[in-house]
Amino acid sequence: MVAVAILAAGRGTRMKSHLPKVLHPLGGRSLVERVLQSLAEIQPSRQLIIVGYRSDLVQEALSPYPDLEFVEQTEQLGTGHAVQQLLSPLVDFEGDLLVLNGDVPLLRPQTLKSLLHTHQTKQNAATILTAQLPDPKGYGRVFCDGQNIVTQIVEDRDCTAAQKQNRRINAGVYCFRWADLSRVLPQLQSNNDQQEYYLTDTVSILEPVMAVDVEDHQEILGINDRKQLANAYSILQTRVKDDWMKAGVTLIDPDSTTIDDTVQLQPDVIVEPQTHLRGKTLIQAGSRIGPGSLIENSQIGENVTVLYSVVTDSTVAANTRIGPYAHLRGQVQVGDGCRIGNFVELKKTTLGDRTNVAHLSYLGDTTTGERVNVGAGTITANYDGVNKHPTQIGDRTKTGSNSVLVAPITVGADVNIAAGSTVTEDVPNDCLVIARARQVVKPGWRLKSRSEEPPQ
Ligand code: UD1
Ligand code: CA
């Protein structure tokens, strides 16, 4: 049996933030959520999380995880003190305890699985994840005898100059045989530089404790300050982008592109420079996104192009062309083979197949049929200052340039609206609507010049 404990009670002083450190976002997910994700290959029988600083916020942020047991550490007296809080909730527990720091967000699920496997097959009292770092500053140093048997861990601030030369560091990821750990936890002392109870001191008492080096040392990066947070983001991005390139996606300029790891891309998608793909976004095969585009929480069909545009919370069917400079937001649904052109904003609007909104328009709360042509500068006046109202436009209808459709309004199919019309009443099928003042021409009329005026 395996239980998991995540240490997330600290404030994270070095972040210089009011937000608890483990709630800081990293690529659309909080640090602690990323730690939870890294458990994907393990089926723990219990998951405990130690909370303290602003535990109300941490509990609220983790409310979508019903299996988590929250354990309160009211005073944060160190990582050892944090794990001491488990003595009571795990009093009857028999098995292994996997302990993870809540600020180590880049661990791969496979790494934890194999650490646990080694721990169980070797029947160690504890097995800890270590790494050989080019720059080990800030981490606890791990001292071993020849066979990777750990003798002690010394925190960076407690190291002598000679001990600091050791580049093997503690990742903050441990498997413990709970029966052994629970026996030694009460013996911890706080005689160190920080006057804290260190979980790492248990390794000098337990026997045997084995160190296992992680293959890719970027995985164990701990986040203590904003610089490490930015560094973790760039590692995560490199990982995500490398995976998509391997899967058949072209990234023209990976360095200027960001892709959340919640995004799905199909082969032969081309992502142009300065493009950002976020949230629950799917882009289907053959589509070309960018340059200069942001797609968030949206589904983009096959062979779509999106040029210098922003698409959020929307769905676009195949073969549609968007941009440059279009903005789709708030549950827009665009049909197959449409064209959304320059300086067009669509909000909560559904466009039937082969409909064009090619220039300078705003459509809000609008539903169109198929093969509609929305003329340049057409605006739906959907807001009366209090409420939003819908506009319906039937199949094959053409709105003239600069028409205003004052909602609520229904315009039938096969209608032509004359340029410059302000349409305020419903329009039946199959007609021409002209809703503007008729042009007046006055022959021979001209402004009299001053010289022609009679003297005063
Ligand atoms: C810790 C390790 C260090 C290791 C490093 C890896 C100890 C003593 N040191 O150092 O050897 O190299 O992680 O990243 O364990 N926490 C609590 N309650 C507390 C104190 C901390 O829950 O009273 C939590 C924090 O919220 C954090 C985690 O424990 O998520 C680690 O604490 P932190 O202060 O960041 O430890 P480090 O100094 O990084
Ligand atoms: Ca840390």
The model's pLDDT over 273-318, given as tens digits with 9 standing for 90+, comes to 999 999 999 999 999 999 999 999 999 999 999 999 999 999 999 9
Residues 192 and 286 in one domain: no
454 has a pLDDT exceeding 80: no
The answer to the question of residue 405 being in a domain is yes
Q: Find out whether the beta carbon of 9 lies less than 6 Å from any atom of ligand 1.
A: yes
Average pLDDT, rounded, for the chain: 96
448 has a pLDDT exceeding 80: no
The answer to the question of residue 338 being in a domain is yes
- Strand 366-368's sheet: what is its strand order? 264-265, 282-283, 299-300, 315-316, 333-334, 350-351, 366-368, 391-393, 409-411
Strand partners, 155: none
What are the two backbone dihedrals, phi and then psi, of residue 449, each rounded to the nearest 5 degrees? -80, 155
Q: Which of 14, 23, 74, 79 to mutate to test the pocket of ligand 1 (most atoms within 8 A of CB)?
A: 79
CATH number of the domain within which 379 lies: 2.160.10.10
The answer to the question of residue 441 being in a domain is no
Direct distance between the N- and C-terminal alpha carbons of the chain, in angstroms, rounded to an integer = 109
The angle formed by the CA atoms of residues 39, 57 and 62, to the nearest 5 degrees, is: 30
The CA 198 to ligand 1 mean position distance, Å, reads 8
Q: What is the average per-residue pLDDT within 415-423?
A: 98
- Number of domains observed in the structure of the chain: 2
63 has a pLDDT exceeding 70: yes
Choose, from 18, 24, 276, 359, the residue flagged as catalytic: 359
Q: For 177-221, what is each residue's pLDDT tens digit?
A: 999 999 999 999 999 999 999 999 999 999 999 999 999 999 999
| pLDDT, position 146 | 80
Distance CA 128, CA 150 (A): 9
Residues 285 and 422 in one domain: yes
Residues 95 and 174 in one domain: yes
Beta strands 96-101; 168-177: pairing state? antiparallel
The CA 138 to ligand 2 mean position distance, Å, reads 9
The answer to the question of residue 253 being in a domain is yes
Residues 62 and 178 in one domain: yes
Residues 325 and 388 in one domain: yes
Q: Find out whether the beta carbon of 222 lies less than 6 Å from any atom of ligand 1.
A: yes
Q: For 131-177, what is each residue's pLDDT tens digit?
A: 999 999 999 999 999 889 999 999 999 999 999 999 999 999 999 99
Minimal CA–CA distance to 174: which of 209, 221, 127, 211? 127
The CA 202 to ligand 1 mean position distance, Å, reads 14
Q: For 66-100, what is each residue's pLDDT tens digit?
A: 999 999 999 999 999 999 999 999 999 999 999 99
Residues 191 and 278 in one domain: no
| pLDDT, position 447 | 77
| pLDDT, position 456 | 64
| pLDDT, position 452 | 62
Q: For 349-406, what is each residue's pLDDT tens digit?
A: 999 999 999 999 999 999 999 999 999 999 999 999 999 999 999 999 999 999 999 9
The answer to the question of residue 34 being in a domain is yes
Closest ligand 1 atom to Cα of 81: 23
409 has a pLDDT exceeding 90: yes
- Match 């890719």 to its residue by tokens: 216
The answer to the question of residue 374 being in a domain is yes
User: For 253, how many CA atoms within 13 A lie in the half-sphere containing its CB?
Assistant: 11
Residues 26 and 168 in one domain: yes
Catalytic-residue membership of 359:
yes
The CA 451 to ligand 1 mean position distance, Å, reads 92
Residues 192 and 291 in one domain: no
Q: What is the average per-residue pLDDT within 334-345?
A: 98
Residues 167 and 269 in one domain: no
Distance CA 172, CA 378 (A): 60
| pLDDT, position 92 | 96
Distance CA 49, CA 65 (A): 11
The answer to the question of residue 452 being in a domain is no
Q: For 216-257, what is each residue's pLDDT tens digit?
A: 999 999 999 999 999 999 999 999 999 999 999 999 999 999
| pLDDT, position 453 | 62
Ligand lying closest to the C-alpha of residue 101: 1
Closest ligand 1 atom to Cα of 9: 22
455 has a pLDDT exceeding 90: no
| pLDDT, position 450 | 60
pTM for the model: 0.87
Residues 371 and 413 in one domain: yes
Cβ atoms of residues 186 and 201 within 8 Å: no
Q: What is the average per-residue pLDDT within 412-441?
A: 97
CATH number of the domain within which 153 lies: 3.90.550.10
Residues 212 and 300 in one domain: no
Q: Which domain holds residue 44?
A: 2-220
Residues 197 and 321 in one domain: no
The answer to the question of residue 242 being in a domain is no
Strand partners, 211: 128
